[in-house]
Amino acid sequence: MSLIQRASNADLMKQEAADLAAKLTPIPVVDGLAAHVRKAWQAAHDHRQTSGVQARLEDALRAKQGKYHPDKLRAIEEFGGSDVYARVAAQKMRTATGWLRDVYAASPQDRPWSLNSTPRPELPPDAEARAVQTVMKQVEMAQQSGMPIDAGSFTDMVTRAVAREARKDLAAVEDVFDDQLTEGGWYKAFNEFLSDITTYPAGFIKGPVVRKRPQLTWGTDAEGATVPVVKDITHVEFDRVSPFDIYPAPHSTDTNDGPIIQKHRMSRSDLSALKGLEAQGYNDVNISAVLEQYGRGGLRDWTTTGDTTREALENRADGMMTGTDDSPIDAIEYWGSVSGRMLLDWGVDAAKVPDPDQEYNANVWLIGSYVIKAVLNADPLGRTPYSKASYEEVPGSFWGNGVYDLMADQGDVANAALRSLVNNMGFASGPMVGINIDRLQPGEELTQLRPLQVIQLRDAQLGGGQAPALEFYQPNANVNELLAVYEKAVQISDDVTGIPRYMAGSEKVGGAGRTASGLSMLMNAASKSLKAVVDNVDSNVIVPVLERLHYWNMRYNDDPSVKRGDVKVVARGSSALAVKEAQQIRRNEFLQVVMNPALAQFVPPGLLKELVKQTAKDIGYSVEDYQFDAPPQAPQVQGQQGAQPAPQMRASQEQLQDGTPTTDAFSPIA
């Protein structure tokens, strides 16, 4: 009996209360994982301020909104001049964005990407069986006709059959990818991203991100009536991330080079919805602690980054500005290296962190001093879910150049010229008047002049009344000179950005641009600089995003048809653009040739139909349901099969020196 520990009911209740309190106590974060993430956040935030990136982002947004910097606007108001703003940069941004969207959505049937297999594709067992079965049928038919099939020919037949099956199989995989991109919001995010890269130093897309969303479906009740049913569906999504919310490490040159942080603005309901997701790495205890501290007025400005300027430019206001209690809660999402010991101290499964002294790629969410989520990066290569591209890439730098960065000086000159022009128009709109107040009658105050106005004067006290009471001066109008400065600044902005005005439909085109063919040549020449932008988007955004989507499908998708390990993503934006421009011109020229009745007998059957199909496809039409007549036959000459009509000659109005009339065998007969 002496080995049995005895305790009263009060002692047991006290111990249970202590255990429960220990379980509900937030994980200590003063010196652990939160401190590590907080330090990375502070370094990234300070570097953005000191490097001038924050100012560049704000200036680009001001240029798009047509607003001056507060300091410059204050100087203009002190001067008393016009604050008119020439939106040259905004027009360039819109032109470049529209051009890029036209490239990536040129035809409803075309995708700006494709999937290719390796030279030796790995087919699923059923597809491989179909290829072998097709070859065996061909061999059997050849043997029945007495045609021998050697080993080399058999191997070639198998190779071609496997390649055909691989193309069919990849076409099905492409359809699955396209469906995931459509349902995941890729095309909306991509359009917004294209607007970002023409505005800011860089644009960002995040994805694929796995989310569970409620989705409305339809079912039947016990009586057989159709009723709405809401189900939680898990699928991948893609987001456009504002450049204002991305904070790379000071030494980073890419989204996968060093830690990268995204700032989120979450509501109380967003944060509460994360409770119960322990399987995804969230911590309910710390989420409750954040909500409790926020309810007491805390966690309002813990990120120490003022977004007041951005919110004003975007015509937004948070709860702190409106005086309400619904201001968003700032959360930072960290992707980078974390020591195994910090992860173990926070509570990550020890089986996933075998070495405490090793560095692991992790995803950590921090709010204030509370880590609400910490998981290992699921990507085996440690890649982050972010992709970045710039209008003009700067080698060795994380941030590139946007349209405004390239033409900031020309924009300032254009604005200065336009303000001066408006001010000069105001001064030169009427005469300036000088008044000799000594000659006004007592009590007469003259501040404005109007027609038929009577002004009472008296003799001057000095000068014997010779000094005029009113003097008029007409300021010079310098409109033409100022307008020339403005036009020159805009012209230089065309050159530095590679976006000439005629790409936006301006009629002010001289030289070769006065003709349709000449304008087409100028458009093709101007698009060469924009093709570099398309190449940036292809290699830095489309390919990485689809590679990550392929990895997710290989690992987590239950559909066996997408399990293709030999898939290679190919972006077709830049290459398709270069090829399509020349291909369309050459096809139209060739179509005119084969439509010539004199050459119809040399046109293979079906060629004309194929050319018409491809031409219709370029403009979004399908001709599959139409019947094509036989190609037109060559004209026949009576009595001579297939002979060409002899050329006719007509008399010319000209004569030789001896009076003999000339003949013209080259001009067509009227």
pLDDT exceeds cutoff 70 at 107: no
| Three-state secondary structure of 294-351 | HHCCCCCCCCCCCCHHHHHHCCCCCHHHHCCCCCCEEEEEEEEEEEHHHHHHHCCCHH
Q: Give the C-alpha separation, 339 to 353, whole Å.
A: 9
Same domain membership, residue 310 and residue 238: yes
Same domain membership, residue 243 and residue 159: no
Number of domain units in the chain:
3
Which of 363, 389, 415 is the C-terminal boundary of a domain? 389
Same domain membership, residue 161 and residue 47: no
pLDDT exceeds cutoff 80 at 554: yes
Residue 57 in any domain: the answer is no
**Residues 109-157: tens digit of each pLDDT:** 567 888 877 666 665 666 666 666 776 777 667 666 767 666 666 666 7
pTM, full prediction: 0.74
**Residues 425-479: tens digit of each pLDDT:** 988 888 888 888 878 888 787 877 777 778 887 776 655 556 777 888 888 999 9
Most confident of 51-60, 436-445, 522-531, 591-600: 51-60
Which of 389, 408, 443 is the C-terminal boundary of a domain? 389
**pLDDT at position 334, please?**
97
Same domain membership, residue 306 and residue 242: yes
94 confidence band (pLDDT: 50, 70, 90): very high
Q: Which helix (H) or strand (E) holds 490?
A: helix 479-497
Domain with 335 in it: 24-51+203-389
Same domain membership, residue 148 and residue 31: no
**pLDDT at position 570, please?**
80
How many Cβ atoms from other residues are within 10 Å of residue 108's Cβ? 10
Same domain membership, residue 454 and residue 319: no
The amino acid at 595? M
**Residues whose CB is less than 8 angstroms from the CB of residue 496 and which lie 6 or more positions away in sequence, other chains included:** 406, 407, 410
Residue 385 in any domain: the answer is yes
Backbone angles phi, psi at 353, to 5 degrees: -125, 80
Candidates 268, 327, 279, 276; CA nearest to 300 is 327
Q: Give the C-alpha separation, 391 to 401, whole Å.
A: 6
Same domain membership, residue 156 and residue 28: no
Residue 640 in any domain: the answer is no
Q: Which two tokens stand for residue 349?
A: 């499964």
Residue 375 in any domain: the answer is yes
Instruction: Work out the burial of residue 410: count CB atoms within 10 Å of its CB; fewer than 13 is exposed, 13-18 middle, 19 or more buried.
Output: buried
- Cα separation values, 44 from 277, 291, 303, 478, 622, Å: 29, 26, 12, 49, 53
Q: Give the C-alpha separation, 521 to 168, whole Å.
A: 39
Displacement of CA 175 from its chain's centroid (Å):
22
Same domain membership, residue 234 and residue 178: no
Which of 516, 544, 566 is the C-terminal boundary of a domain? 566
Among the residue ranges 218-222, 280-284, 489-493, 499-503, the one predicted with the least confidence is 499-503
Residue 426 in any domain: the answer is no
Residue 496 in any domain: the answer is no
- Can you tell me which residue has the tokens 């255990």? 19
Mean residue pLDDT of the chain comes to 79
- Whether 109 and 614 have beta carbons less than 8 Å apart is answered as no
Among the residue ranges 214-228, 322-336, 576-590, the one predicted with the least confidence is 576-590
Instruction: Work out the burial of residue 189: count CB atoms within 10 Å of its CB; fewer than 13 is exposed, 13-18 middle, 19 or more buried.
Output: buried
pLDDT exceeds cutoff 90 at 659: no
Same domain membership, residue 374 and residue 259: yes
**Residues 241-255: tens digit of each pLDDT:** 999 999 999 999 999
Same domain membership, residue 281 and residue 154: no
Same domain membership, residue 259 and residue 157: no
Higher pLDDT, 635 or 350: 350
Residue 90 in any domain: the answer is no
Displacement of CA 77 from its chain's centroid (Å):
37
Same domain membership, residue 435 and residue 349: no
Residue 310 in any domain: the answer is yes
Backbone angles phi, psi at 115, to 5 degrees: -115, 130
